Amino acid sequence: MTEERKVVRSCGECTACCKTHYIQELQKLPGVWCKHCSVGIGCKIYDQRPTECREYACEWLRGSGLESERPDKTGTIIDTMISDDKREALIRIVEVSENAIERLRVRQMAEYFLSSGVPVYFVPLHGSGNIELPWGFKPGPILKKIIESR
């Protein structure tokens, strides 16, 4: 699943996704800092960084949420996953800092997406994730696969 909306902000000192995300090209596991990351500064191999890193953009970078809600400050990254055939989409809320996913603001955002008809996938720093579906929502094949793989 990939996402195509434009980037309208810059990461600045945020390096949150360099901790949370799996980077296949580097075999970097989720939840651990990438060995190439200067935390709070940026990527030490910026010009040679993997394509996955070049192509990734969280929702905040695409203009969602308040300016003050940058992922390194909120402790959570929100991103959108859209299937290649564009028939399925879900919001993912990925925890950067311990227990940040429990915050009221995260719940409020999740409720907003769920009430808009979009499934929300909560990904904690440790342990397995949890998917919440909007009322009456019938998951398609890709979402079913994610649900089964947890």
Q: CB of 131 within 8 A of CB of 147?
A: yes
By CB under 6 A, residue 109 contacts ligand SF4: no
Structure tokens at 144: 């079913």
Give the three-state DSSP class for 37.
Answer: strand
Q: Are strands 120-123 and 89-95 parallel, antiparallel or unpaired?
A: parallel
Q: Residue 17 interacts with ligand SF4 (CB under 6 A)?
A: yes
**Per rule CB under 6 A, is residue 110 in the interface with ligand SF4?**
no
SS3 breakdown of the chain: % helix, strand, coil, rounded to 5?
A: 30, 20, 50
Q: Binding residue for ligand SF4 (CB under 6 A) from 4, 5, 6, 14? A: 14
- How many beta carbons lie within 10 A of that of residue 63, not counting itself? 12
Binding to ligand SF4, residues 41-60 (CB under 6 A):
43, 45, 49-50, 53, 56-58, 60
**93 near ligand SF4, rule: CB under 6 A:** no
Binding site for ligand SF4 (CB under 6 A): 11, 14-18, 23, 34, 36-37, 43, 45, 49-50, 53, 56-58, 60-61, 70-71, 77
